[in-house]
Amino acid sequence: MFISGQPPASGMPEISSRYDGLGVGFAPYLQPPGPEVVRWTVGEPGFDAPTEVIEATIKGLEDGNTKYTRGAGSMELCQAVSDYLARHHGIDVGMDDVVITPGAKQALLYSFMIATMPGDEAILLAPSWASYEPMLSLIGAVPVNVPVRKDNFHPDIDAIAAAVTERTRMILINSPCNPTGAVFTPDEMQAIVDIAIEHDLWIVSDEIYARLVWTDYPHTSPSTLSGGKERTLIVNGWSKSWAMTGMRLGFLAGPPDAMRAAVKTQANSASHVPTFMMHAAAVALDCDDSVEEFNREYLKRRDIMIGGLEEMSGLRVIEPEGAFYVFVDVTGTGMSDIEFADGALEAGVQLIPTSLITGGEGFVRISYATDEEAIHEGLRRLRAWLVD
Ligand SMILES: Cc1ncc(COP(=O)(O)O)c(C=O)c1O
Give per-residue pLDDT as tens, 339-374. 999 999 999 999 999 998 999 999 999 999 988 999
Looking at the predicted structure, is the pLDDT value of residue 385 above 70? Answer: yes
Question: Which of the listed residues 247, 266, 286 is the one where a domain comes to its end?
Answer: 286
Contact 327, 365 (CB under 8 A): yes
Written as one string, the DSSP assignment of 307-370 is HHHHTSTT-EEPPP-BTTEEEEE-GGGTS-HHHHHHHHHHTTEE-EEGGGSTT-TTEEEEE--S
Lowest mean pLDDT among 37-51, 87-101, 237-251, 265-279: 37-51
Summarised one tens digit per residue, pLDDT across range 307-336 is 999 999 899 999 999 999 999 999 999 999
Task: Clarify whether residues 231 and 138 are in a common domain.
Answer: yes
Question: Mean pLDDT across the chain, nearest whole number?
Answer: 94
Lowest mean pLDDT among 20-34, 171-185, 214-228, 290-304: 20-34
Helix (H) or strand (E) holding 121: strand 121-126
Lowest mean pLDDT among 22-31, 136-145, 179-188: 22-31
Q: How many angstroms separate the CA atoms of 310 and 333, rounded?
A: 13
Which atom of ligand 1 is nearest to 106's Cα? 11
Q: How many angstroms separate the CA atoms of 12 and 15, rounded?
A: 8
Buried b (16+ CB within 10 A) or exposed e, 214-223: beeeebbbbb
Pocket probe mutation, ligand 1, options 175, 239, 249, 324, max atoms within 8 Å of Cβ: 239
Q: What is the pTM of this model?
A: 0.95
Q: How confident is the model at residue 30 (pLDDT cuts 50, 70, 90)?
A: confident
Pocket of ligand 1 (CB under 6 A): 43, 103-105, 129, 174, 178, 206, 208, 237, 239, 245, 250
Closest C-alpha among 293, 352, 339, 340 to residue 315: 340
Domain assignment present for residue 10? The answer is no
Which atom of ligand 1 is nearest to 174's Cα? 1
Domain assignment present for residue 7? The answer is no
Nearest CA to ligand 1 atom 14: 43
Q: How confident is the model at residue 378 (pLDDT cuts 50, 70, 90)?
A: very high
Q: How many angstroms separate the CA atoms of 33 and 140, rounded?
A: 34
| Amino acid found at 125 | L
Average pLDDT of span 119-131: 97
Task: Clarify whether residues 111 and 124 are in a common domain.
Answer: yes
The total of other beta-carbon atoms located within 10 Å of residue 30's CB is 16
Nearest CA to ligand 1 atom 7: 104
Task: Clarify whether residues 86 and 224 are in a common domain.
Answer: yes
Domain assignment present for residue 80? The answer is yes
* pLDDT, position 31: 78
* pLDDT, position 6: 55
Task: Clarify whether residues 281 and 208 are in a common domain.
Answer: yes
| Residue 16 Cα to ligand 1 middle (Å) | 26
* pLDDT, position 226: 93
Q: How many angstroms separate the CA atoms of 130 and 107, rounded?
A: 16
* pLDDT, position 311: 93
| Residue 25 Cα to ligand 1 middle (Å) | 11
| Residue 105 Cα to ligand 1 middle (Å) | 6
> Kind of pairing, strands 168-174 and 142-147?
unpaired
* pLDDT, position 29: 78
Closest C-alpha among 301, 302, 304 to residue 327: 302
Which atom of ligand 1 is nearest to 129's Cα? 1
Which atom of ligand 1 is nearest to 108's Cα? 4
Q: How confident is the model at residue 23 (pLDDT cuts 50, 70, 90)?
A: confident
Task: Clarify whether residues 221 and 346 are in a common domain.
Answer: no
Task: Clarify whether residues 180 and 263 are in a common domain.
Answer: yes
Pocket probe mutation, ligand 1, options 44, 110, 128, 129, max atoms within 8 Å of Cβ: 129
Question: Which of the listed residues 271, 286, 301 is the one where a domain comes to its end?
Answer: 286
Task: Clarify whether residues 43 and 183 are in a common domain.
Answer: no
Query: Cα torsion for 171, 172, 174, 178, to the nearest 10°?
Result: -130
Q: How confident is the model at residue 8 (pLDDT cuts 50, 70, 90)?
A: low
Task: Clarify whether residues 117 and 203 are in a common domain.
Answer: yes
Domain assignment present for residue 234? The answer is yes
Q: Please, where are the H alpha helices in the chain?
A: 27-30, 51-62, 75-89, 103-115, 132-138, 157-163, 186-199, 256-267, 278-284, 288-310, 337-346, 372-386
How many structural domains comprise the chain? 2
Residue 238: alpha-carbon gap to chain centroid: 11
* pLDDT, position 1: 42
Task: Clarify whether residues 294 and 241 are in a common domain.
Answer: no
Range of the domain at 277: 51-286
Residue 322: HSE in the Cβ half-sphere, 13 Å Cα cutoff:
26
Task: Clarify whether residues 185 and 59 are in a common domain.
Answer: yes
Domain assignment present for residue 11? The answer is no
Task: Clarify whether residues 264 and 359 are in a common domain.
Answer: no
Looking at the predicted structure, is the pLDDT value of residue 3 above 60? Answer: no
| Residue 208 Cα to ligand 1 middle (Å) | 7
| Residue 243 Cα to ligand 1 middle (Å) | 12
Question: Which of the listed residues 255, 271, 286 is the one where a domain comes to its end?
Answer: 286
* pLDDT, position 9: 62
Domain of residue 41, CATH code: 3.90.1150.10
Q: How many angstroms separate the CA atoms of 93 and 233, rounded?
A: 11
Q: How many angstroms separate the CA atoms of 307 and 286, rounded?
A: 33
* pLDDT, position 202: 98
| Residue 6 Cα to ligand 1 middle (Å) | 43
Pocket probe mutation, ligand 1, options 24, 81, 105, max atoms within 8 Å of Cβ: 105
**Left, alpha or beta for 206 (phi > 0: left; psi -120 to 50: alpha)?**
beta
| Residue 324 Cα to ligand 1 middle (Å) | 12
Domain of residue 178, CATH code: 3.40.640.10
Q: How confident is the model at residue 295 (pLDDT cuts 50, 70, 90)?
A: very high
Task: Clarify whether residues 35 and 147 are in a common domain.
Answer: no
| Residue 178 Cα to ligand 1 middle (Å) | 9
> How much of the chain exceeds pLDDT 90, in percent?
90
Domain assignment present for residue 9? The answer is no
* pLDDT, position 44: 83
| Residue 107 Cα to ligand 1 middle (Å) | 10
Domain assignment present for residue 265? The answer is yes
Domain assignment present for residue 342? The answer is yes
Looking at the predicted structure, is the pLDDT value of residue 7 above 60? Answer: no
